[in-house]
Amino acid sequence: MKLFQVINLARDYLILGVIGLIFMWFIYWIFLRKFLKNHVKSHIKKVVIFCILFCYIVIVSGATIFIRPGVYEHANLHLFSSYIEAWNNYSKSYWRNIVLNILMFVPFGFLLPLFSDKFKNFFATMSLSLMFTVGIEVTQYITKRGIFEVDDIMNNWIGALIGYSLVMFILLIFSKEKTRFKPLKLTLCILPIVLTLAITYKIIENYNNQEFGNLSSDYNYVYHMDDVTLSSDVELNSKDIKKQKVYISERYTKEETLQFAESFFKELNAKLDKSNIETYANQVVYNSKDKRYRLAVHLRGGTYDLDDFKSDKNKIYSNMDEESVKDILSSYNIEVYPNSQFEEQKDLDENDKSYIYKFSVDLEDKDNKLTDGYISVDQNDENLHINNYIYQYDVCGEYKIISEEEAYEKIKAGEFNSYELYDIQSIVVRSVKLCYQVDSKGFYQPVYRFECTIDGEGRPIFIPALAQNY
């Protein structure tokens, strides 16, 4: 969830919280004013804190339960799996989810000691925080409005701990009362924040110091294989392959994508609209002034998606030959890579009359450059869409890899990404081949792709091929 979505969500449920407070105030005014008038006046600070706490709880409940559909049925009891997943993908979105889960409970730990002196006690605040987060996760599981995850409980509790430590640090600093061991208590209060920052710094440092990036297909937790029937229909090679090439793709700067887009639009006799540029983490989206073209340029490799919103109708139709499709691409100044494999992909839905044509290149190694990917073109009414995902990689070295047999042993040990598969009964390996995947730093790493039948359904399992001591 992006930051602006969190802000909008908080705003919506804040309104609901305020409505709830107005209702509670109405009840007080009608029924309880006579009995609680003096109590409210003498505890105005607690009333204010209570109102903030109430709105906060409404916002958290809305964000974690009420906005979600009741489609979730599983629990993730693997501690630290969300951290390993974020490490494997190493993208802002995965780390942001963890950070938001921590930050979400900081106000809870911060407000409780301000609301009541009873919650200045560490165990009282942290016990209530634990009960609150467990209650959310159990409610999610019962209502199927979320996955019960022990990592969420841990992250929420850490957030409450940081909030509690912060408020107690502030209260100790400004306290006029004499406090025994005050320097020690201040140190203990600031320790959770310092440890959190130190761990964050260490994660970033370790990532920056390693030669290659991480693979999203690597496992997030060890799968329990005791009750899984595993078999293989292929003869696996147990001999070590001494070395395999690793490649690196070019990464464009945002200035370079702008130059590319200007040149691209110029060839189409269109002008780039510099007032309508959308910048994202991994791509920049450009639009033409006449609103006919939309070009999304990816920073990695300079690949792109092109939309022509005012294309001639029926430019793409069934059973087109290769030269006709090439002519259409050529009209957009897009040349097909030599020796590309041409194919037509028809939609399985009979009511959908869309057709997709692809020119594919499969790991062509030539002149110390690896070319891989495809160009596809399809059309929906007047909108013609082109994906140019042809990547070119330069060789950055040769490195030792594990054998097929060693990769298979990792599957036997449960060290593979199940992609949210639960309660696997059987895995049958149908074939295996060495292919490549892009890691989080843009390197093209060798991986083993095991084509498997998992509980009757065809699914691949990827095992990173680079040896640990490459």
List pLDDT tens digits, range 398-438. Answer: 999 999 999 999 999 999 997 766 789 999 999 999 999 99
Q: Which of 447, 426, 390 is nearest to 244 (CA)?
A: 447
Q: What is the mean pLDDT of the chain?
A: 86
Could you give the CA distance from residue 9 to residue 62 in angstroms, rounded to a whole number?
Answer: 8
Give residue 153's pLDDT band: very low, low, confident or very high (50, 70, 90): very high
**Higher-pLDDT residue of 155, 55:** 155
Written as one string, the DSSP assignment of 269-308 is: T--B-TTS-EE-SSEEEEEBTTS-EEEEEETBTT-EEEEE
122-143 vs 106-115: helix axis angle to the nearest 10?
130
Q: What is the pLDDT of residue 93?
A: 84
Q: Identify the residue whose tokens are 């761990």.
A: 199
What distances in angstroms separate CA 409 from CA 67, 232, 274, one per listed residue? 42, 12, 54
Mean pLDDT for 351-369 is 82
72/143 Cα distance (integer angstroms): 8
The CA distance from 463 to 406, in Å, is 10
What is the structure's pLDDT at 352? 53
Question: What is the number of residues in the chain?
Answer: 470
**Which tokens in the block code for residue 152?**
């969420």
pLDDT category, 348, cuts 50, 70, 90?
A: very low
* Predicted pLDDT at 196: 94
Contact 406, 391 (CB under 8 A): no
Residue 130 DSSP SS3: helix
According to the 3-state scheme, what is the secondary structure of 132-145?
HHHHHHHHHHHHCC
Q: Please tell me the distance from the alpha carbon of residue 328 to that of residue 323, in angstroms, as a whole number.
A: 9
- Which of 42-56, 153-167, 226-240 is predicted least confidently? 42-56
d(CA 33, CA 136): 33
Return the minimum-mean-pLDDT range out of 28-37, 114-123, 273-282: 28-37
> Judging by beta carbons within 10 Å of its beta carbon (0-12, 13-18, 19+), is residue 23 exposed, middle or buried?
exposed
- pLDDT for the residue numbered 366: 85
Ramachandran angles phi, psi of 205, nearest 5°: -65, -45
Higher pLDDT, 410 or 66: 410
pLDDT tens digits for range 207-258: 999 999 999 999 999 998 999 999 998 988 877 677 899 999 888 999 999 9
Q: Indicate the pLDDT class of residue 131, thresholds 50, 70 and 90.
A: very high
The predicted-structure confidence for 79-106, as pLDDT tens digits, reads as follows 999 999 999 999 888 998 899 899 999 9
Distance of CA 387 to the CA centre of its chain: 23
User: Which residues are registered as beta bridge partners of 295?
Assistant: 286, 306
* Contact yes or no for 161/109 (Cβ under 8 A): yes
Under 8 Å between Cβ of 200 and 96? no
Residues forming beta bridges with residue 426, ordered by sequence position: 229
Q: What is the pLDDT of residue 353?
A: 58
- If you average pLDDT over residues 377-387, what whole number do you get? 91
Q: How far apart are CA 52 and CA 28, in angstroms?
A: 17
Percentage, residues of the chain above pLDDT 90: 61
